[in-house]
Amino acid sequence: MTDTTTTEPTDKMASPPPGGLPKAYRPSEVEGAIYERWLAADVFAPDGAGSRPDPDAEPFTIIQPPPNITGSLHLGHAQRAAVEDLMTRHARMTGKAALFLPGLDHASIAAQFVLDGIIARDGESRQSLGRERYLERMQDFVTTTREVIVSQERRLGASLDWNRLRYTMDDVSAKAVRVAFKTLHERDLAYRTEALVNWCPGCRTSVSDLEVVSTPETGTLWSIRYHRVDDATGEPLPDESVTVATTRPETILGDTAVAVHPDDARYRALVGRRVRIPFVARDVPIIADAVVDPAFGTGAVKITPAHDHDDHETGKRHGLAMPTILDDAAVVSGTGTAYDGLDRYVARTAILADLDARGDLVGEKPHEMVLGRCQRSNDVIEPRLKTQWFVRTEPLAAKALEATRSGRTRIVPDHFEKTWEHWLTTIRDWNVSRQLWWGHRIPAWYCPDGHVTVSAELEGPSACEDCGRPAAELRQDPDIFDTWFSSGLWPFSTLGWPDETDDFRRFYPTSVMETGYDIIFFWVARMMMLGIELTGSEPFHTITLSGLIRDPFGKKMSKTTGNVVDPLAVMEEAGADALRFALIHGATSGQDQRFGPQKLELARNFANKLWNAARFVLGARPTEIAVDAARTAPAEADLGPIERWIRSRAAAATAAVDRAMADYQFGEVTRALYDGIWSEFCDWGIELAKVRLADESVPVDQRAATWWTLVDALDTYLRLLHPVMPFVTEAIWAAIPHRADDPDLLMVARWPAAAGRDERVDAALGEVIETIVAIRNARAHADLPAGAWLETHLAMATDSRATFEAMAPAIGRLARARPLVPHDRSADLPRPDGALEIVLPSGSFEATVLPPAASDDAVDGAAGRDRARLEKELEEAEGHLVAARARLANTAFTDKAPPAVVEGARTRATELAEQVARLRERLGR
């Protein structure tokens, strides 16, 4: 579907001729070449050749949350980019040295999960390839995805400084990881110990607490009889037993005790005796521990210290043995029973059957419980005893908490501070070891004597730190770091830390961390903890958290549900500008938003509206002004109320946008611009100006002033909108006259000052607009032909006379009132039969519209309909008047409310009373 009449080569689109824009707004053509122009002008970097930060400008830094290198971008990424780019472009235009630093995350476990799926299609697996070939395969994979991601971000218009592109697996990050870990180790904030970790049998690695998803499920609670053994003979006593309750019978094989509550009279005599664990022929003690809830199950608990968190703690308190019974794949092993080699759930079934056969399975009932599942693979997490590296979080969390409590770091919206507080105050040590291949290898070396050497050197230590054994005899830890460990260093590793680089000195601490609230713990908290500890300062002064993008039904977008939206497809259809606007417009910070075609359509229509408004302004240039005329400020004396109003409203929009930007209320930014540009500038500013521009009787200088006023306002709106819709604003801006000190590109032009606000002219024009709307309303209600020019009489207060004189042609045109006859007093208005009566609350204007010739069938009944309208208006006005008077009659109100409010209420009541009186009079009451 191509329209050959309006299509022009794209190279011309990028730089349209002065005074003209292509007729049709085609986003993909407009956007096509502009990014290249920006790149060529070198304006993305704060120190780029085309950048123009103020000489003494403070830096403004946003480090991009690095997308996972596992695939293409989704709408969430587009939202990240839109919001961050909005802030960056705004900062750049306000003269700051703005750095928006791009990056990619190697996404260790997520990437392996994806790659495992890909190679599985070729019948391969991690094990079949081996570590080296697997990592080569990974390199191929990420090389492809990297290009896809970068090109998508460019398509979105993100003004990222590509020269500073970083990657969590590059050399600088690798060094930062080593140095960070060594530093933590030296400060005793990283330690290695055997502990119960969350093991995912599917991923074959441990995962952090955050990666375990609590899932409510209905399981079974089995009651199992353990037989006592005779203290003297060591033989089981067939008639004496203790019944325990468990949801995981297979862990019987790892039991090393049975626990009861110390105060439980039922079992008091048994404490200290022993029972025999079935199948493994192990006799274990009955111990007393307050952790046991006597009311749950049988009041006796089997203790499996190597496979359960509670039991592990109990085991430590009582010095119990901790036999491991499951291997990496969650297969029973090393128990010396027939169950060795069986999967945990197969073993469970077999054990239950065998217990039943022995008569020791004494009960089972359904049980509501919470299972931990792997965030990545959804496998049931198995607690296992492993020797791993941990980061001591308590001292780090204390500093992070202090930063937000003191206000040095602010969270927007602030209610997330409660979540932040809760998590950081109950945090447990962070297991950073992963038994994966794709990631940063832990820089710890072990010598045969068991010494540990942590080294920050690329080639590792030259010898064991403790005993001096040479490097050749040392063995490096095979594990890698949790992917979030390198992400946690991101705000400073990207700037060159641990080296004192120029960038680090200049841009750290960064300004704003913008990301989705779903990774506040995974990422934001860890950046804060590690950043403060390692660099001595908070990594950013503000954290802004966005909500999630959902589908039109409020469902989370996911590949399995099939409701994901491809940003590229959206941009192809509606443009990057529209996508950005829609994502920002629909959002309140921290709140999820639904995304659907309507929001996109709204945004695309808005871009189209702006495009056409610009086309009008450019085409409306008075012939007296040369096409390439330099931008001149119109003389004050040549400005009428219309021009002053246009200027004032642009200033009001600027102030509103400034306010919203300062509060990180980006949805409010787009709202102010949508209303300002569409409802004010287009609907009224341009429509009112049209009349002046087309009026040959208006002096040339004044017509020129009108046009320059439109250009000024358009210029202001383009600047204000640029951070949200960079492409279309840049394209239009290229076509309008510039000021002498303007750069070639809007992107590096200066942010407008909110100057020219005039509240008196706002009020005066407000009344004129109200009058025009009222006349239109009356005509529409009376079913008069919309296009008919009707004789209209207007009465006005004396002080409105000057405004009227200046605006009569505009009022006439917009209200289709011709001739338009002024009167001093309402009483002078002619009121023939069938005249439409216009009564306004403000009282500045009052009007009658004379009907067309009575013989016209089309207006038959118009008078009656007009009367009905007035009746309704009267009813409403009376209702308001009663309320207003009641309010004023209340002395509590007049005594306590602020004087301005009381005064406003009085004015309101007076106006209402006058309106009611006039309406009554018109209705003949």
Partner RNA sequence: GGGCGAUUGGCUCAGUGGUUAGAGCACGCGGUUCACAUCCGCGGGGUCACUGGUUCGAAUCCAGUAUCGCCCACCA
**On the CB side of 218, how many CA atoms lie within 13 Å of its CA?**
3
Interface residues for RNA in 678-737 (CB under 7 A)?
A: 678-679, 682-683, 686-687, 690
Within the chain, what is the greatest distance between any pair of CA atoms?
124
Given the complex with RNA, which of 422 and 831 has the nearer CB atom?
422
Give the contact letters, 18-37, x = binds to RNA (CB under 7 A), - = no: ------xxx-----------
Residue 673 or 705 with smaller CB distance to RNA: 673
CB of 576 to RNA, least distance (A): 15
In angstroms, the CA 811 to CA 691 distance is 9
Q: Which of 786, 833, 853, 889 binds RNA (CB under 7 A)?
A: 786
Q: Which is nearer to RNA, 175 or 703 (CB)?
A: 703
**Interface with RNA, residue 841, by CB under 7 A:** yes
Which residue in the set 117, 366, 562, 898 belongs to the binding site for RNA (CB under 7 A)? 898
Between 94 and 247, CB nearer to RNA:
247
3-state SS class at 491: helix
Q: Compute CA 537 distance to the chain's CA centroid, rounded to the nearest angstrom.
A: 25
* Binding residue count for RNA, defined by CB under 7 A: 94
Instruction: For RNA, give the closer residue by CB, 451 or 690.
Output: 690
Among residues 750, 777, 914, 920, which is the contact residue for RNA, using CB under 7 A? Answer: 777
Q: Which of 146, 192, 776, 865 binds RNA (CB under 7 A)?
A: 776
Q: What is the dihedral of CA 123, 126, 132, 137, to 10 degrees?
A: 60
Nearer to RNA, 495 or 607 (CB): 607
Looking at the Cβ atoms of 53 and 516, the one nearer to RNA is 516
Using CB under 7 A, which residues numbered 356 to 395 contact RNA?
369-370
Q: Are 813 and 741 in contact (CB under 8 A)?
A: no
- Does residue 839 belong to the site contacting RNA (CB under 7 A)? no
Q: Is 826 in the site for RNA (CB under 7 A)?
A: no
Which among 49-57, 62-70, 153-161, 897-905 is the span making contact with RNA, rule CB under 7 A? 897-905
Question: In the range 496-525, which residues lie near RNA by CB under 7 A?
Answer: 518, 521
Q: Does 910 participate in binding RNA (rule CB under 7 A)? A: no
Smallest gap from residue 671 Cβ to RNA (A) = 6
Selected binder of RNA within 292, 306, 650, 657 (CB under 7 A): 292
Contacts of 626 (CB under 8 A, 6+ apart): none
CB 645 within 8 A of CB 762: yes
Tell whether residue 601 is a contact of RNA (CB under 7 A). Answer: yes
Write out the binding residues for RNA, residues 320-359 only, by CB under 7 A. none
Residue with tokens 């794949």: 329
702 three-class SS:
helix
Beta bridge partners of 226: 242
Residues 862-891 that bind RNA (CB under 7 A): 880, 883-884, 890
Token representation of residue 199: 């093991």
CB of 430 to RNA, least distance (A): 11
Residues in 250-279 that interact with RNA by CB under 7 A: none
Comparing CB distances to RNA, the nearer of 473 and 683 is 683
Binding mask 167-206 for RNA (x = CB under 7 A): ----------------------------------------
**3-class SS at 713?**
helix
The type of residue at 245 is A
Question: To the nearest whole angstrom, how small is the minimum distance from the Cβ of residue 664 to RNA?
Answer: 11
**Distance, CA of 236 to CA of 227 (rounded, Å):** 6
Distance of CA 346 to the CA centre of its chain: 45
CA 551 to chain centre: 15
Q: Binder to RNA among 130, 619, 699, 819 (CB under 7 A)?
A: 619
Q: Which of 773, 802, 827, 854 binds RNA (CB under 7 A)?
A: 773
Residue ranges in 424-443 that form contacts with RNA under rule CB under 7 A: 426
Question: Which distant-in-sequence residues (6+ apart) come within 8 Å of 393 by Cβ?
Answer: 427, 428, 429, 430, 529
Spatial CB neighbours of 187, under 8 Å, sequence gap ≥ 6: 533
Q: Which of 599, 573, 781 is nearest to 31 (CA)?
A: 573
What residues form DSSP beta bridges with 542? Answer: 410, 512
Cβ-based nearer residue to RNA, 671 or 757: 671
Interface of this chain with RNA, residues 463 to 502, rule: CB under 7 A: none
- Stretch in the footprint of RNA (CB under 7 A) among 93-101, 276-284, 504-512, 781-789: 781-789
Is 80 or 302 the residue whose CB approaches RNA more closely? 302
The residue within the footprint of RNA, chosen from 448, 468, 830, 904 (CB under 7 A), is 904
Closest CA relative to residue 374, chosen from 614, 157, 201, 189 = 201
Q: What is the 3-state secondary structure of 734-798? A: CCCCCCCCCCCCHHHCCCCCCCCCCHHHHHHHHHHHHHHHHHHHHHHHCCCCCCCCEEEEEEECH
Please identify which residue in the block is written with the tokens 């937000």: 404
For the bound state, the minimum distance from the C-beta of residue 138 to RNA, rounded and expressed in Å, comes to 28
Does residue 598 interact with RNA by CB under 7 A? yes
Shortest Å, Cβ 266 to RNA: 12
The b-or-e profile of 717-738 (16+ CB within 10 A means b, else e) is bbbbbbbbbbbbbbbbbbbbbb
Q: With contact defined as beta carbons under 8 Å apart, do 869 and 861 qualify?
A: no
